[in-house]
């Protein structure tokens, strides 16, 4: 790598938000680099079918990621597979990586989140094949089928309510006797005939070869186990934002998300945040793409206002 090579914009993360930001930045005439630590495309890649991205019903996650990548690189965006390890801010933004450093007039953070996994054997293999982390994204695939949601917060409760309108039977699994989520939502769920509460239980094992067929539940007090046949399992035990390398100087909230509003501005001039890594109420593909566009245009405006173009 050329030491301290300078770009107009560096985007950290190559998911939907990052690739969209790159497309908009390149179209604004900015020399743009994406730093991606793993595989471009983000969490959507394992999804066999995406039904909620406007204009592209039925596309696979992998194909959607490839289309975004192709569009960005055809516009001249460069992608470097490197792990960002830190950020130094000032008149010039410096991104530290495992092999050196990159500089830019503006940085867009799109590091995203990781779904908190159950940590069970076969979980990775069955993800997208009966295991999902997004009821809004994948619930329609389980119409009139039997599913379970595991979790005790508002996300799990909302997922169970969403799925109850679609599925024949929904089991809500939680390891405690009480829920962390809103009591009003719990009462609504208790009134639904096709929701069964499984408390206090945890999932001890996942069963299935090609697809998920059942889970083994363990009672938290007696340790007794039982088998629960399922068509699908929705995991809603939290997300882990990937923002730690950038704080400080970037300000995070108590949950580790970057404090940035709908304008995607962080607490630092020239540093923007887009997608699931920022504070927001809705985390979907379409909102990640929208954030990417907003952040890129904000970065372009910042660069023009401060005459910081690299060329």
Q: Which of the residues are catalytic?
A: 134, 137-138
Query: What is the structure's pLDDT at 1?
Result: 43
Residues in contact with 166: Cβ distance below 8 Å, sequence separation at least 6, in sequence order: 139, 140, 142, 143, 144
C-alpha–C-alpha distance, residues 237 and 174, integer Å: 10
C-alpha–C-alpha distance, residues 182 and 188, integer Å: 10
Mean pLDDT by 10 residues, the chain (311 residues): 74 95 97 92 75 84 92 96 93 91 95 88 92 87 96 88 94 93 89 96 95 96 96 92 91 93 96 94 89 97 81 52
Query: What is the structure's pLDDT at 12?
Result: 96
For CATH 3.50.50.60, list the domain ranges present in the chain: 5-114+239-305, 123-235
C-alpha–C-alpha distance, residues 76 and 16, integer Å: 17
Class for domain 123-235, per CATH? alpha beta
Which CATH code is given to the segment(s) 5-114+239-305? 3.50.50.60
Query: What is the structure's pLDDT at 310?
Result: 54
Radius of gyration of the chain (CA): 21
């Amino acid at each position: 790598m050329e030491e301290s090579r300078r770009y107009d914009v560096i985007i950290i993360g190559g998911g939907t938000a990052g690739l969209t930001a790159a497309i908009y930045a390149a179209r604004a005439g900015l020399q743009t680099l994406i730093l991606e630590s793993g595989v471009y495309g983000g969490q959507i890649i394992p999804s066999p079918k995406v039904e909620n991205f406007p204009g592209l019903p039925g596309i696979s996650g992998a194909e959607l990621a490839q289309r975004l990548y192709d569009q960005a690189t055809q516009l001249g965006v460069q992608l470097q597979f490197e792990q960002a390890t830190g950020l130094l801010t000032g008149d010039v933004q410096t991104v530290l990586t495992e092999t050196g450093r990159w500089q830019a007039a503006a940085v867009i953070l799109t590091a995203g989140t990781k779904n908190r996994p159950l940590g069970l054997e076969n979980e990775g293999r069955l993800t997208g094949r009966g295991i999902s982390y997004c009821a809004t994204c994948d619930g329609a695939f389980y119409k009139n089928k039997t599913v379970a949601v595991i979790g005790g917060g508002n996300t799990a409760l909302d997922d169970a309510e969403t799925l109850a309108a679609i599925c024949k039977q929904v089991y809500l699994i939680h390891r405690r006797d009480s829920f962390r989520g809103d009591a009003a939502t719990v009462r609504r769920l208790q009134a639904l005939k096709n929701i069964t509460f499984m408390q206090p239980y945890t999932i001890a094992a996942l069963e299935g070869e090609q697809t998920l067929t059942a889970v083994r539940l363990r009672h938290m007090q007696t340790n007794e186990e039982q088998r629960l046949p399922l068509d699908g399992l929705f995991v809603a035990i939290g997300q882990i934002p990937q923002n730690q390398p950038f704080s400080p100087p970037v300000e995070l909230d108590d949950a580790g998300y970057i404090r940035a509003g709908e304008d995607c501005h962080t607490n630092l001039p020239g540093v923007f945040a887009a997608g699931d890594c920022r504070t927001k109420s809705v985390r979907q593909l379409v909102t990640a793409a929208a954030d990417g566009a907003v952040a890129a245009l904000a970065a372009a405006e910042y660069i023009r206002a401060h005459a910081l173009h690299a060329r």
